[in-house]
């Protein structure tokens, strides 16, 4: 009887306890797990001691990327470069017990239906995409580029979403076909332009009538939808 009770208890623990494979700490996350990550990176010389605030922003992104490069865990060509996933956390000696929290605990508990990924709301995910995109302003334009060394417009968008755990199509036309049309864009939606025949350029809407994109003559930059060129070529917005 004792063996049966112990077996049931052990099985229950295995089902409930989080595992390292479930852990992911990424841009936009906040909480104790981010603080622990920042402190550990600082102890290994990959983060500034002043950047231990429990907020996964651009500085923490660069710290994670620095550590991943130095250990060979990931590189700018990797889909999850800058995301502290299972391999990175395990290498740092961190477990998933301090699972990530969203920007507001009330958001994560108020409605499980709004959660796109365990522990991450859609709003939080969009915030992470925008934060990643903003951290890349100044990256050069490279035809076919998909890394901070150089992006084309769709490579930039795909990278920003991938760094936040979301896989999206590679080309502008594929993104246009995969998205759901919205009458007016919200933060994190994609805005499309017909610079050639059909959807041929796109960016990420960041609010305030502005979008961030990789332009062929500017690299990654922020532009206004009110700009005469962009307003003339604007096709519409879509949500992925």
Query: Which of 26, 30, 46, 201 is flagged as catalytic?
Result: 201
Query: Which of 211, 213, 220, 238 is flagged as catalytic?
Result: 213
What does 7-31 look like in DSSP terms, one character per residue? Answer: HHHHHHHHHHS--GGG--B-TT-BS
Specify whether 46 is catalytic: no
Contact 20, 90 (CB under 8 A): yes
Query: Which of 153, 175, 191, 206 is flagged as catalytic?
Result: 153
Evaluated on CA atoms 220, 76, 45, 25, the torsion sign reads positive
Q: Please give the Cα distance from 234 to 228 (Å, whole number).
A: 10
Q: Please give the Cα distance from 166 to 85 (Å, whole number).
A: 14
Backbone φ and ψ for 151, nearest 5 degrees, come out as -125, 145
Q: Other C-beta atoms within 10 Å of 147: how many? A: 17
Grouping H, G, I as helix, E, B as strand and the rest as coil, residue 218 is: coil
Provide the annotated active-site residues.
Answer: 153, 201, 213
């Amino acid at each position: 009887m004792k063996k049966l009770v112990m077996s049931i208890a052990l099985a229950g623990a295995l089902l409930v306890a989080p595992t390292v494979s479930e852990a992911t700490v990424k841009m936009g996350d906040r909480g104790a797990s981010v603080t622990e990550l920042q402190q550990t990176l600082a102890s290994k010389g990959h983060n500034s001691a002043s950047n231990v605030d429990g907020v996964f922003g651009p500085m923490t992104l660069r710290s994670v990327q620095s550590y991943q490069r130095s250990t060979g865990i990931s590189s700018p060509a990797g889909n999850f470069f800058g995301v502290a996933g299972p391999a990175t956390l395990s290498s740092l000696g961190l477990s998933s017990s301090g699972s990530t929290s969203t920007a507001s605990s009330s958001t994560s508990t108020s409605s499980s239906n709004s959660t796109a990924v365990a522990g991450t709301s859609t709003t939080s995910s969009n915030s992470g995409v925008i934060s990643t995109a903003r951290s890349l302003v100044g990256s050069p334009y490279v035809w076919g580029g998909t890394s901070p060394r150089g992006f084309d417009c769709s490579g930039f968008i795909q990278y920003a979403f991938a760094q936040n755990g979301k896989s999206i199509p590679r080309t502008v036309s594929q993104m246009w076909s995969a998205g759901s049309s919205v009458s007016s864009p919200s933060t994190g939606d994609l805005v499309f332009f017909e610079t050639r025949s059909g959807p041929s350029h796109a960016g990420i809407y960041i609010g305030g009538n502005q979008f961030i994109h990789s332009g062929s003559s500017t690299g990654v930059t922020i532009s206004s939808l009110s700009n005469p060129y962009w307003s003339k070529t604007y096709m519409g917005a879509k949500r992925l």
